[in-house]
Amino acid sequence: MASLIQWLYEHPSMRKFEWSSEQTPGSSPLFVATTVLLYLSLTSLLHLLMRTLKPPLKPLSLLIPIHNLSLSSLSLLLALSAALSARTHISLHSLSHAWLFCFPQSTKPQGPVFFWAYIFYLSKIYEFTDTLIIVLKKRPITFLHVYHHALVVVMCYLWLEQVQSLMVVALVTNGLVHTFMYSYYFLCSVGFAPKWKRAVTLAQILQFVFSFCASIVMLVMHFWIDEGCKGLGAWGFNAVFNASLLLLFLNFHEKQYNAHGEGEGKGKEKKSN
């Protein structure tokens, strides 16, 4: 464990990493806007095309398990790496664990913690593949699915651009939830449907509830500390986005389970942020 922590914190690519607006690949507002617009446009176009084309189900049957297993593994790696990097950062700089909830105004977006946040940001672009799979399988695309996938990229960009407090807490929480979620989808894709389908949706809902509890801690510290916490503007966007997702997921849960009973389809829960 000690050698792993040392590697995570001292590897040159991580230790020397620094998010620099307009210089780090993917760090410009134009890149984010273009990425989101392309995602929305291509999703609409492919959805129209697939009405007349037969989906390549045989290749998908091989690719989907690999896709889900890859994202499950990546999510776990990101959650653990971010947590260990944050722990080491706190120890080396003699910080209290309050740092996890409130970044000082002097915090710079550099080092291993922000390296993993950057990889997390890029992974959300890769997760657009979820939508492609749904389209190719000719399954309906919900507003919740597209809304989440489009705006989560903006959220992660703002984490880095404005050095948002609570970023590490959100990354670790989301990574663990996604590990659980994509593990479920992997098992479904190889022909084994676990009976904890509803638990996936509940985990996503609890994630948002937890984020609001963490936000209360951050806000108390922000007004308690003279200099306040870093990245409050990005946190505002994050809070509104999470609130909207919570409402959408509660509505989804009501329709999927309470109104009609446990859903019959395999792996149809929509991905959360």
Active site residues: 148
Tokens of 128: 């657009």
Count Cβ atoms within 10 A of the Cβ of residue 213 and give its class: 0-12 exposed, 13-18 middle, 19 or more buried. Answer: exposed
* Residue in the block written with tokens 């664990």: 97
Range list of H helices, 16-111 = 29-49, 57-92
Number of neighbouring beta carbons within 10 Å of residue 108: 11
DSSP state of 255: I
Residues 145, 271: contact at Cβ < 8 Å?
yes
Alpha-carbon distance of 57 to 136, in angstroms, equals 8
Show contacts of 43-52: CB within 8 Å, 24+ apart: 43/131, 43/135, 43/141, 43/146, 46/132, 46/135, 46/136, 47/135, 47/141, 50/135, 50/136, 50/138
Cα distance between residue 97 and residue 90, in whole Å: 7
Q: Give the residue from 269, 249, 255 showing the smallest Cα distance to 193.
A: 269
